[in-house]
């Protein structure tokens, strides 16, 4: 056996399908690709029309190099070559008709898999210890993913293996996840179910997408993206995308009749900032100031909805300790692919793109 791959997820399966022979995947689930199956609402958002290192949290110079050798265009050509049809939907995102298109391909083309086999440890000589015995190969690829969605098989084994070979693992946090709010934003919770197209700013990143209020706090694509770049500190939301007074042009009409926002949102917002819904001409100066908050509502999230709701894990094996083949600089023949590495993409197919591009770098080095 030349190569053992730990994990039958996106990166491990793709690598195996490229290698074709001399590999063995060890997977503790009873099925392959559990995350692929449910991803993208069951349609698996595989990549994006526009992919650059700027879409990734982590070492962007490193990401740029890895993407160079297997870009979104390369991924799309690979899909086409294998008759795996994708459609461009939403904001430049590529989806399958359903995730089974990709899963069925892997089921057909990746045969050397041992399911129900839990990897426990990798020894110094690269022997892989599992609950079903010890496996030995020349190369070991850790493709065991991150911590989010434990119920789908997520585990911290990849990080443990990395640490046992003296690798640094950067702090692990839930990302692409909803945010919980402080008591000052409890009005968000009264808006549960309402969605608003907004401009969300976190640090230097801006996302123009929907925000969705929920009983736990705030979520929706713009917030999921913001959670990737948020560490501590504030997030700013422009709920209107145009200056508030450009809407409040008629002095004889009430505020709520002139703003292009759901009535329930306006009612709760006005209550939260202490302004009555009245005719615009009766607004006092300080009330006008408060209305400007609709363009720049700042809040400090209390936390996130946690790993169980997060699409990905931010943080992981430090890229500075890997070469451009995704190989450990400390132990030759030990590789890391996909989410276990300290590279996390935004919402929109960037994480599968990373899983595939990083696996491709390993493939090139192994053949
Ligand atoms: C709900 C949801 C929706 C998502 N939608 C999208 C999307 O549409 N587009 C996108 O780009 N990304 C999406 N993602 C993120 C994407 O699924 C992951 O980033 C990607 O699957 C990571 O690939 P990977 O190969 O690194 O890890 P994974 O695909 O997670 O695979 C890791 C594998 O290792 C196995 N494993 C773990 N521990 C052990 C062990 N000890 N022994 C043996 N096997 C083990 C796991 O069971 C798993 O099969 C989504 C994630 C979630 C949770």
Total domain count, the chain: 2
Q: Provide the pLDDT for residue 345.
A: 98
Same domain, 344 and 275: no
Ligand 1 nearest atom to the CA of residue 157, by list position: 41
- Using the mean position of ligand 1's atoms as its centre, give its distance from the Cα of residue 243 in Å: 41
Q: Is 155 in the pocket of ligand 1 (CB under 6 A)?
A: yes
Same domain, 261 and 219: yes
Mutate to test the pocket of ligand 1, among 4, 6, 7 (most ligand atoms within 8 A of CB): 7
Q: Provide the pLDDT for residue 232.
A: 86
H or E element in which residue 264 lies:
helix 263-273
Same domain, 123 and 225: no
Whether 219 and 210 have beta carbons less than 8 Å apart is answered as no
CATH of residue 161's domain is: 3.50.50.60
Q: Characterize 345-358 residue by residue with b for buried, 16 or more Cβ atoms within 10 angstroms of its Cβ, and e for exposed.
A: bbbbbbbbbbbbbb
Same domain, 262 and 150: no
Determine the straight-line distance between the first and last CA of the chain, rounded to whole angstroms. Answer: 14
Give the domain-ending residue among 304, 331, 346: 304
Q: Provide the pLDDT for residue 331.
A: 98
CATH of residue 270's domain is: 2.40.30.10
- Using the mean position of ligand 1's atoms as its centre, give its distance from the Cα of residue 199 in Å: 29
Q: Is 228 in the pocket of ligand 1 (CB under 6 A)?
A: no
Same domain, 318 and 257: no
Same domain, 78 and 155: yes
Same domain, 16 and 163: yes
Same domain, 317 and 248: no
Q: Provide the pLDDT for residue 29.
A: 98
- Using the mean position of ligand 1's atoms as its centre, give its distance from the Cα of residue 314 in Å: 13
Which residues are within 8 A (CB) of 38 and not within 5 positions of it... i.e. 6 or more apart?
99, 152
Same domain, 360 and 285: no
Give the domain-ending residue among 274, 304, 334: 304
Q: Whose CA is nearest to atom 44 of ligand 1?
A: 27
Q: Provide the pLDDT for residue 13.
A: 98
Q: Which residues of the chain have pLDDT under 50?
A: none
DSSP 291: H
Q: Pick the closest to residue 221 from 203, 208, 235 (CA basis).
A: 208
- What phi and psi values does residue 7 have, to the nearest 5 degrees? 110, 120
- Strands 128-130 and 93-96, by their bridges, are unpaired
pLDDT in tens, 260-287: 999 999 999 999 999 999 999 999 999 9
Q: Provide the pLDDT for residue 1.
A: 80
Same domain, 299 and 339: no
Provide the domain limits for residue 125.
3-173+312-366
- Give the up-direction half-sphere exposure of residue 317: CA atoms within 13 A in the CB hemisphere: 33
Q: Provide the pLDDT for residue 106.
A: 98
Q: Is 10 in the pocket of ligand 1 (CB under 6 A)?
A: yes
Mutate to test the pocket of ligand 1, among 101, 310, 311 (most ligand atoms within 8 A of CB): 311
Q: Provide the pLDDT for residue 328.
A: 98
pLDDT mean across residues, the chain: 97
Same domain, 263 and 225: yes
Give the domain-ending residue among 263, 279, 304: 304
Q: Characterize 261-278 residue by residue with b for buried, 16 or more Cβ atoms within 10 angstroms of its Cβ, and e for exposed.
A: beeebbebbbebbebeee
Same domain, 280 and 345: no
């Amino acid at each position: 056996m030349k190569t053992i791959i730990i994990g039958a997820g996106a990166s491990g399966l793709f690598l195996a399908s490229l290698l074709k022979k001399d590999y063995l995947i060890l997977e503790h689930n009873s099925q392959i690709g559990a995350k692929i199956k449910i991803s993208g609402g069951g349609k698996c958002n595989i990549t994006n029309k526009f992919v650059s290192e700027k879409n990734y949290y982590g070492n962007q110079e490193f990401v740029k190099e890895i993407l160079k050798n297997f870009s979104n265009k390369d991924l799309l050509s690979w899909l086409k070559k294998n008759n795996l049809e994708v459609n461009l939907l939403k904001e430049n995102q590529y989806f399958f008709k359903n995730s089974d298109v990709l899963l069925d391909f892997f089921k057909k083309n990746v045969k050397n898999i041992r399911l129900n086999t839990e990897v426990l440890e990798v020894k110094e000589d690269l022997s892989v210890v599992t609950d079903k015995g010890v496996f030995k190969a020349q190369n070991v690829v850790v493709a065991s993913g991150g911590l989010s969605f434990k119920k789908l098989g997520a585990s911290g084994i990849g990080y443990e293996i990395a640490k046992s070979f003296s690798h640094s693992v950067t702090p692990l946090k839930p990302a692409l996840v909803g945010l919980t709010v402080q008591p000052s934003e409890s009005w968000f919770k009264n808006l549960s179910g309402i969605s608003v197209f907004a401009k969300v700013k976190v640090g230097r990143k801006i996302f123009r997408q929907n925000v969705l209020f929920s009983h736990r706090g705030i979520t929706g694509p713009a917030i999921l993206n913001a959670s990737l770049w948020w560490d501590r500190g504030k997030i700013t939301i422009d709920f209107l995308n145009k200056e508030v007074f450009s809407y409040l042009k008629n002095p004889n009409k009430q505020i709520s009749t002139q703003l292009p926002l759901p009535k329930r949102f306006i009612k709760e917002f006005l209550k939260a900032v202490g302004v009555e819904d009245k005719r615009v001409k009766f607004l006092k100066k300080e009330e006008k100031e408060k209305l400007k908050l609709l363009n720049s509502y700042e809040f400090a999230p209390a936390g996130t909805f946690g790993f169980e709701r997060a699409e990905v894990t931010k943080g992981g094996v430090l890229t500075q300790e890997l070469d451009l083949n995704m190989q450990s600089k400390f132990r030759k023949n030990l590789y890391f692919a996909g989410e276990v590495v300290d590279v996390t993409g935004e919402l929109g197919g960037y994480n599968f793109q990373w899983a595939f591009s990083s696996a491709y770098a390993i493939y090139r080095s192994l053949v």
